[in-house]
Amino acid sequence: MARYALTDIHGCLLTLRALLARLPLRPADELYFLGDYVNKGPDSRGVLDYLMALPGQGYRVVCLRGNHDQALLDAAEGRTDQDWLSTTERALTLRSFGITSPQDLPLPYLRWLRDLPFQFDIAGWTLVHAGYDFSQPTAAMRRDWRTMLNTKAFVLDAARLQGRRLVHGHVPTPQAELQRHLGHTPGAVCLDTGCVYRHNPELRHLAAFNLDTHELTLQPNIEPDYPIMKR
């Protein structure tokens, strides 16, 4: 049995499919997705459809909540105004669902987004989208969902995770920097290699991390052209 973590897909369905096709996956393997499935990229709906169908192929699949998944859910439930994305990016997301307003998001996607957990513990690892505020007491830290979705910097305290290492996304990291980082057996691993930023050669990759062998598989962005800001 193999265990893989992936994150920050941002509507890049073709790239996701290509990456998974390169992994030696077998039934009963475990796939952990760390959030941000939607927004910015060309096919948010396609990514959700693909993830929702994966368990039917025999894999154990756990999908966590990212800040962009929360933003889409908030918009669909009327809890935010229209600044959840730029005008161009918002139109791209809505068009993928065939709707003109986030409040028209079909019910199956609403239900799926509402059920996404914020964090998940497995043998050897704690999984979260962004990270934790390790200055808080452990119980409070594990309830602080806004930090779990949005933090961009933290000082790891492994004792707060009962010795588990941390794997997360959210902060686009050049692939070369991630590979160097993994060479030192770090206590925290950021897997966001900025797949959606197709104009940036240091980013523009989707990463799959084998949680047992620590092997990293990188897939370049292969999506058709779409409007995206340069990062």
pLDDT-based confidence at residue 93 (cuts at 50, 70, 90) = very high
pLDDT-based confidence at residue 231 (cuts at 50, 70, 90) = confident
Compute the 3-state secondary structure of the chain and give helix, strand, coil in percent, each to the nearest 5.
35, 15, 50
Going along the chain from its start, the domains and CATH numbers come out as: 3-121+171-220 (3.60.21.10)
Q: Tell how far CA 170 is from the center of its chain.
A: 7
Model's pTM, two decimal places?
0.97
Average confidence (pLDDT) over 172-199: 95
* pLDDT at 130 exceeding the cut of 90: yes
DSSP string, 181-219: HHTT--SEEE---BTT-TT-TTS-EEEEEETTT--EEEE
* pLDDT at 6 exceeding the cut of 70: yes
Average per-residue pLDDT for the chain: 95
pLDDT-based confidence at residue 86 (cuts at 50, 70, 90) = confident
| Amino acid letter, residue 154 | F
pLDDT recorded at residue 80: 74
Q: What is the DSSP letter of 174?
A: -
Alpha carbon distance 76, 57 (integer Å): 29
pLDDT-based confidence at residue 214 (cuts at 50, 70, 90) = very high
pLDDT-based confidence at residue 82 (cuts at 50, 70, 90) = low
* pLDDT at 40 exceeding the cut of 70: yes
Average confidence (pLDDT) over 46-58: 96
* pLDDT at 57 exceeding the cut of 80: yes
pLDDT-based confidence at residue 230 (cuts at 50, 70, 90) = confident
* pLDDT at 145 exceeding the cut of 70: yes
